Structure 1
Amino acid sequence: MRSKTQFPINLNFKLILICFFFLFLIFLIPRSVFSPAASSSPSVHASSSSRAPSENQEPPENQEPTTTAAACPPGRTQSCDKIPPSLAEALVHYVTTNITPQQTMKEISVSMRVLAKKSPCNFLVFGLGHDSLMWTSLNHGGRTVFLEEDRSWINQIHRQLPSLESYHVTYDTKVTEADELLQTGARDDCQVVGDPRTSKCRLALKGLPKEVYEIEWDLIMVDAPTGYHDEAPGRMAAIYTAGLIARNREGGETDVFVHDVDRVVEDKFSKTFLCEGYMIEQEGRIRHFTIPSHKARAGRPFCPPT
């Protein structure tokens, strides 16, 4: 999710990122303008009825016709074309930053395409980093939650971006235990689908904030905890728990993304516990899985037959 050292941001990447945000706005604004929820808002109608003339009413003499009605649908004010504050903040942040996000543009595009279809939605991210404001902005109107192992890093990011919703979590595993935990995950008690808090599997994370267990997540990104040295906690439990949360939802499906699959742990654990049969695509170091609810269909195996 974040690097230990900081690198100057590549100019071409910055220009691509800016263009990417404006393209997102092109899709976002028409959807928000013409959505049924927006057009049926009582407060909007009450405001517009007190200011706007009816269709058959002519404007007063010597008053030039306005173009507001042409720019916005009936019952909406000119503010409907304004950039939402969260997106404006993101644009300014990434234009002025000298930090390069950890994912490449092609890797970001994988989850961006899913967010374009599903947002506003519930988006859970393991890891807090330089790209967190981007994920929150892409899920404008939804809920994006970040789980981070480093409390001091949370405080640092919070001072810069206080609007981000993040929680401190702890892990009791190490990368050196990966092979043992892979064997543990093959046992019957790790193949049972249910609430991670009541699971008997050692890989299930039981100490996460209650919001993580109570919300049905539409997207989950596993880009943490640290996993690049032997004494680091590794992403074994995060990957397993992401898959368990996805299977345990009442209905529908969850898109799960795992970053850094060029490393052994991320590669093996994502294929084993998110299942190769659920894998949709891989771009660079990111892998995308779509996991259906196992509650909605009794008897569904932990992984689909291959």
Structure 2
Amino acid sequence: MASGTGNASKTHFAINAKIILLSFLFLFLLLLIVRTSFPSSQQLYSPVPSSSTELTIQTQQAQESASASAADCPTTTAAATCAKTPPSLAQALVHYATTNITPQQTYDEISVSLRVLAKKSPCNFLVFGLGHDSLMWTSLNHGGRTVFLEEDKAWIDQVTQKLPTLEAFHVTYDTKVTQAEKLMKLRDEEECKAVSDPRSSKCELAHKGFPSEVYDVEWDLIMVDAPTGWHDDAPGRMTAIYTAGLIARNRESGETDVFVHDVDRVIEDGFSKAFLCEGYLTEQVGRLRHFTVPSHRARSGRPFCP
């Protein structure tokens, strides 16, 4: 009887989680439709031109804007099509509505990244790990680029066969969880405090074997939710966390939002604090920690940690 009650509770929880996720996606879709369907406040309240020259300029700008809109939706029929649900969001809604498998993160944890995506998307989003939440992240970054780095080649093949629109790369790691204590000592080494392209870094923690896209793109968000780190022979997230921080610091300007999941574990907790820096910590919700890491190239002389 107790077992049956437990199974019923799990089923009830899974259904609730699914409803919450679908609500997130519907709200995001509604926001997209509202933003694309209504004119901006600048369009609604543009001032009356004070001269014929200003009128000419505004007329030209209006024509250019109309031409751009026409290119996207040149006919009434096309305009109606533009108001339809984007394919990525439609696919996500159907996918999560027809599966009992829910994302690894909790509602509150997902909400942290969602708030940032709501401000920055469409953007460049790098995710360490390919999981049951991958289609969700791609959909929430509709119109942007979302890339996944995964250690298990067979898992990539399995997921992308079902969801071919996901952009995933197979990567390998040459570390083990048992090396974490030794690698942590590198935080005091000068070569590990130097900010550069990870491929040219002299720090042992810098991962040099990722696809070139990882190093060449300026990422607006980075989510570290892999590689595996829950047993001794697993690679652990030591180099993933350090390299994510180095990529963020090495961007030309601006800042990168870096998220680390599973910070209830020793490695994720210690390495995120040491190499993403407590001074850059924005918030922590549940097992998710959010850092806002500024460009170090934009201001020379900035210390590795504030």
Fold similarity call, TM over 0.5 = yes
Q: How would you bin the TM-score normalised by the shorter chain?
A: 0.7 to 0.9
1:62-141 equivalences under 5 Å are: 77-141=79-143
Question: What SS does the corresponding residue of 2:149 show, helix, strand or coil?
Answer: strand
Structure 1's unaligned 5+ residue stretches are 1-6, 53-67, 69-75
Corresponding residue of 1:16: 20
| Aligned residues of 1:145 and 1:166 also touching (Cα < 8 A) | yes
Within 2, Cα distance between the matches of 1:48 and 1:212? 34
Superposition deviation, residue 177 in structure 1:
0.4
- 1:143 equivalent to 2:168? Answer no
Task: Go from structure 1 to structure 2 and tell me whether the alpha carbon gap of 1:31 and 1:178 turns closer, same or farther (over 3 Å shift).
Answer: same
Task: Go from structure 1 to structure 2 and tell me whether the alpha carbon gap of 1:26 and 1:48 turns closer, same or farther (over 3 Å shift).
Answer: closer
Amino acid at match of 2:246: L
- 1:29 equivalent to 2:29? Answer no
Superposition deviation, residue 80 in structure 1:
3.1
Amino acid at match of 2:152: D
| Aligned residues of 1:219 and 1:255 also touching (Cα < 8 A) | yes
Amino acid at match of 1:104: T
Aligned mate of 2:70, from 45, 48, 64:
45
Corresponding residue of 1:60: none
Within 2, Cα distance between the matches of 1:294 and 1:45? 41
Question: What SS does the corresponding residue of 2:101 show, helix, strand or coil?
Answer: coil
Residue identity over aligned pairs, in percent, reads 69
Structure 2's unaligned 5+ residue stretches are 1-9, 41-63
Amino acid at match of 1:274: L
Superposition deviation, residue 47 in structure 1:
8.4
Superposition deviation, residue 40 in structure 1:
3.2
Normalized against structure 2, the TM-score is what?
0.85
| Aligned residues of 2:222 and 2:257 also touching (Cα < 8 A) | yes
Within 1, Cα distance between the matches of 2:66 and 2:157? 37
Corresponding residue of 1:161: 163
Superposition deviation, residue 46 in structure 1:
6.1
1:188-227 equivalences under 5 Å are: 188-227=190-229
Give the root-mean-square deviation of aligned CA atoms. Answer: 2.0
| Aligned residues of 1:120 and 1:139 also touching (Cα < 8 A) | yes
Higher helix share: 2
Amino acid at match of 2:239: A
Question: What SS does the corresponding residue of 2:188 show, helix, strand or coil?
Answer: coil
Superposition deviation, residue 105 in structure 1:
0.6
Superposition deviation, residue 48 in structure 1:
6.6
Instruction: Name whichever of 24-33 and 212-221 sits farther off.
Output: 24-33
Aligned length: 273
Aligned mate of 1:251, from 229, 250, 253:
253
Instruction: Name whichever of 25-34 and 142-151 sits farther off.
Output: 25-34
Question: What SS does the corresponding residue of 2:284 show, helix, strand or coil?
Answer: strand
Corresponding residue of 2:275: 273
Structure 1 residue runs of 4 or more that deviate by more than 3 Å after TM superposition: 32-36, 39-44, 46-49
Within 1, Cα distance between the matches of 2:160 and 2:39? 33
Within 1, Cα distance between the matches of 2:39 and 2:217? 24
Amino acid at match of 2:65: S
Superposition deviation, residue 31 in structure 1:
2.2
